[in-house]
Structure 1
Amino acid sequence: FGGGFAQAPLCTAPNGDFVSEVVEFNTDSIAIKTWFYRFDQQGDTLFRKLHLQGSNSDTLFLGGYQAVPTSDSGFAICGSYYEPGMQDAVATLLKTNELGDTLWFRQYPSSGVAYGIDENFDNGFLLTGRKSGQTWNGLFLIRTDSLGQELWRRWYGGYLDASQQVHLASDGNIVTWANHRTVWAPDAFDTVACRLTKWNQQGTVIDQGEYRMPYRPFTSDFEELPDGSWITMGKWGEMYRFNKFSASLDTVWTRTYWFFGGFHNLFDVEPTSDGGFIATGEAKQTGANNDPIPGLQTVTVLKLDSMGCLVPGCHTVGVQEIVLGLEDALRLWPNPASDHVNVQVSLPSGFEVHGDLVLEVQDALGREVLRSPLPGSGGGGPSPFSFQLSALPSGLYHLHLLDDTRVLTGTKLVKE
């Protein structure tokens, strides 16, 4: 469905349906339209309604970047609009009822593009985005009333290739996640920091936290956790980057992941019921670093635990390489376990093991408490087999599968 420019922002309705603002672009007439789509939980289209249409056939841009459900069961969609004759693009905000009927549409002069939106405590809205060509203090935070009328605007940050986001925090303040130039230096990537900023409802900065990396750090999504801390997401160079900040915006941990040697983006992260996170994005093989299929663009889903680990226990001190992609190679049951646990190892056909396979158990502090080679010649079988835990006290552990040089995979283990 759809096609053309911009994104097709997606959000969930209260009943579990999905809502999206889809751009339709006609290459023959250069005409742009946006449609409100509502899908059921299986992804089938329930209906669509025309929302916006360019005022002439030369409209160059019209689209949405984020959609959110609102407290009145409707939806709000932020985006951008530009056509010939305008001095610059303007950020937009469109409000609908639950059936997708347009209630009102606002444009904000001298703005550019609104990438992030959240509903405020007073049923107004918070918008953040960027003004094209303004790389120093080029990002904006706009607060509106419940009808989308601008109450105030603040300029901050400043770097173009990023997706700014905003949330109403549980303490009633406003938090933005965006890139920020630390000094004025055009095209100097090492002057860019990824910054979490807390504002009060009057638009005054009251706290900040950030991380800096030596090359091209960009921001994408972030979410508040139940204890008031924050999980942030973006990329550094061509790598996925996750940071956890405390409620006082101090860095708690940082995790970096990458696949192949190509181009990577993460677009959305959500907390999960087990205390961890799930993130979605893309990985594109550019042909560099011996990518197996140059040009292949792959949707990526990452499931991380509460410490941001793909392999449980990655946060403990160690120098071994961690192999990615073997999360399904280790299975154990029952879990929780008592005096023993059944372990099954199923490495992919043709996978090269460096030496013997070993099972290592670490406690919650990362201390090795048990180590055993896998039964069988060369440490490769038989599987499944029974692994004895009787010497361990009750508690939470991490079970890792190792060879002589690497951590191949791992999982959590609870001893009753």
Structure 2
Amino acid sequence: MQQLAVRWGLFALLMGSFASRSPGQGFHLRLDTIGAGLGQLGRAIIQLDNGHYAISANGGWIYDSLYWSSTTNLLILDGSGGYVSVSHIDVPDKLTYNGRSRSMVQLPDGKFVIGGNSVDTSLVGLPSLYWFNASGLAITYAEIEALPQYIVRQMNKAHDDGFVLVGDALIGNDIQAFILKTDSAGQLEWSQLFGTTTYDDYFWSVEPAPEGTYYIGGVKGVGNNSWDPWLLRVDSLGNEIWSFTNGTQYQDLGQAHLFALSDGSFVYGSGRPTGNGTDQRPQLVKVDCTGSILWSQEYDVATHSALILDVQEIVPGGDLIACGYSTPINPFFDGFLCRTNSQGDSLWLRHYWYTDSIMNDGIGYFNDVTPTSDGGFAAVGVMIQSMSGNDPPGASQDVWVLKVDSLGCVEPGCDLVTGITAQVTNLKDALRVWPNPVAGGGSVTVVIALPEGLRKGALRLSLISADGKLVREEQLPAFLSRYSFPISAYHSGLYMLHLSTPDTWLSGTKLMIE
């Protein structure tokens, strides 16, 4: 174990919740835990038994005036998205990094372990493990003595109480993929290199598989500037059992991010070239334990770049939830969530843009998603910047957390508004209604306070009852800021009022009719 400096803070921030027709309640947050101007990004999210969320993140921290240090961070949020604790592992004169997606586990004793890297001032990088206690406060870290210039893409639990890590290593002038195994204290037990000296090769994900083996997902160089999705199964010592690539005739760049399923098979997410090979669509592929493909599905319209960065199984039921990014406006990307059934048939796919009172076109993506105990989903990633450059003063790249219901809605009922393909997050105050509650037979006034950049076309106001019925819909001009309508035709009860454009959900609020 190494000596380290630990900096942590305890915060309290309560956010409201609301009743929902579909399981799961929503929130949307842009978290800046270390100060404006310092870049951060969210890597993994776990829902805890008490309903809280543990989030692993990376962020810059000024350790001294001579050296800029990246830190490994753990955030604990309550069930409504309020801070419980924030803790940073800040190693003097070293940068520390998390793995790319879902590189965090919780141990049986409640502690958290994050897998990643530490990099010294000469840019020598070593695989590393970072421990936090059950309250989310930093404890220590360990460097894994191996060949230099390792980059860890993901860490997972091993079949025993140790850990497995995968990624890529610089071997001479070549990049080769690696898997290594440690004991519970982070001491190296074995490691294996894969790939060739002809092309660069990378591992991106690892999962325990049946009979003490492991599944690995990555990308393998095949020439012509193409890297195909690469799938492997290795034994308990990292020796290959089988492997295959699953590319196209185009220049693939499809990382394979996999998840082991309850039936012993696995599913991996990637991006598959389409058309003339210049565009991609998100892709899910299910593979059995012998390496045979059971099904392959593609989703959404093709964009310049699209990739699934994590996929998980919803238990019980066997549905799948995936997250990642697409590029509807090149080079700007958005985050998306996609739910499918157990055969990969799409149930819904929704895109999300970040917006606040200043920034109306924030771009970002999701690295990890998890099913939640209320039937919804929580995703974490990074909110990078405004597409138009309209960033608030002191803006920085920050952690983006999204909580949606079982239908992918930030506010319940978005699925009932026809034509919606995207949702803007964090415009909670853009739609206000009064009186609320309102007496039966009266009328209500709606105030619309949108950032100017979002007033680009006709607006739509939709009223949805608690049992999921669309009871009123009005087309409104883009410039309208106030609108009144009678409620005499509606029964008493709870309703949801939604504001949208023809294809994008903007905001929603509750309305109670007495």
TM over 0.5: yes
**Runs of at least 4 residues off by over 6 Å:** 328-332, 345-354, 387-390, 403-407, 411-415
Shift of 1:295: 6.3
Separation (CA, whole Å) in 2 of partners of 1:346 and 1:26: 57
1:174–1:198 contact (8 Å) kept in structure 2: yes
Alignment-derived partner of residue 240 in structure 1: 335
What is the Cα deviation at residue 163 of structure 1? 4.3
CA contact (8 A) 1:37 1:49 kept: yes
Q: What is the distance in 2 between the residues matched to 1:137 and 1:22?
A: 23
The aligned counterpart of 1:40 is 133
Which secondary structure does the structure 2 equivalent of 1:131 belong to? strand
C-alpha separation in 2, matches of 1:390 and 1:368: 8
Shift of the 407–239 alpha-carbon distance from structure 1 to 2, 3 Å rule, reads: closer
Q: How far is the alpha carbon of 1:364 from its aligned partner? A: 4.3
Normalization by structure 2: what TM-score? 0.63
Query: Aligned equivalents of 1:331 and 1:255: distance in 2?
Result: 25
Q: Deviations over 1:343-399 (max 9, x none)?
A: xx9999998999xx989333544421799xxxxxx779xxxxxx9999369xxx751
Range with bigger deviation, 40-49 or 288-297:
288-297
CA contact (8 A) 1:312 1:398 kept: no
Change (3 A) 1:413 1:162: farther
Counterpart amino acid of residue 74 in structure 1: G
Aligned to 2:409: 309
RMSD: 4.1
> Quick one: which of 99, 102, 110 aligns to 1:16?
110
- The answer on 1:326 being equivalent to 2:427 is yes
- Cα distance in 2, alignment partners of residues 102 and 293 from structure 1: 46
Q: Answer whether contact 1:281 1:299 (CA < 8 A) is retained.
A: yes
- The amino acid that maps onto 1:399 is M
CA contact (8 A) 2:288 2:294 kept: yes
How far 1:400 sits from its partner (Å)?
Answer: 1.8
Identify the match of residue 197 of structure 1 among 258, 274, 285.
Answer: 285
- What is the Cα deviation at residue 235 of structure 1? 0.9
The one of 349, 368, 373 aligned to 1:268: 368
Amino acid at match of 2:115: E
1:400 pairs, out of 497, 510, 513, with 497
Change (3 A) 1:366 1:5: same
2:463 pairs, out of 357, 360, 364, with 360
TM-score, normalised via structure 1 length? 0.76
Q: CA deviation at 1:74?
A: 2.1
Following TM superposition, by how much is the alpha carbon of 1:401 offset from its aligned partner in structure 2, in angstroms?
A: 5.3
Question: How many residues end up aligned between the 2 structures?
Answer: 380
Q: Is the CA contact 1:231–1:243 (under 8 Å) kept in the aligned structure 2?
A: yes
Conservation of the 8 A alpha-carbon contact between 1:116 and 1:165: yes
**Identity of aligned pairs, percent?**
25
- 1:315 is paired with a residue whose SS is helix
- In structure 1, give the amino acid aligned to 2:351: T
Is the 2:177–2:194 contact (alpha carbons within 8 Å) kept by the matching residues of 1?
yes
CA distance 1:137–1:48, shift in 2 (3 Å): closer
Q: Which runs of 5+ in 2 are unaligned?
A: 1-89, 328-332, 355-359, 475-481
In structure 2, the partner of 1:296 is: 396
Gaps of 5+ in 1: 372-377, 381-386
CA displacement at 1:331 relative to structure 2: 11
User: Whole-Å Cα distance in 2 between the matches of residues 231 and 30 of structure 1?
Assistant: 37
Counterpart check, 1:181 vs 2:278: no
Aligned to 1:121: 210
Higher relative contact order (CA 8 A, sep 6+): 2
2:257 is the counterpart of 1:165: yes
Residue pair 2:446, 2:483 contacting (<8 A) in 1 also: no
CA distance in 2: counterparts of 1:391 and 1:136, whole angstroms: 60
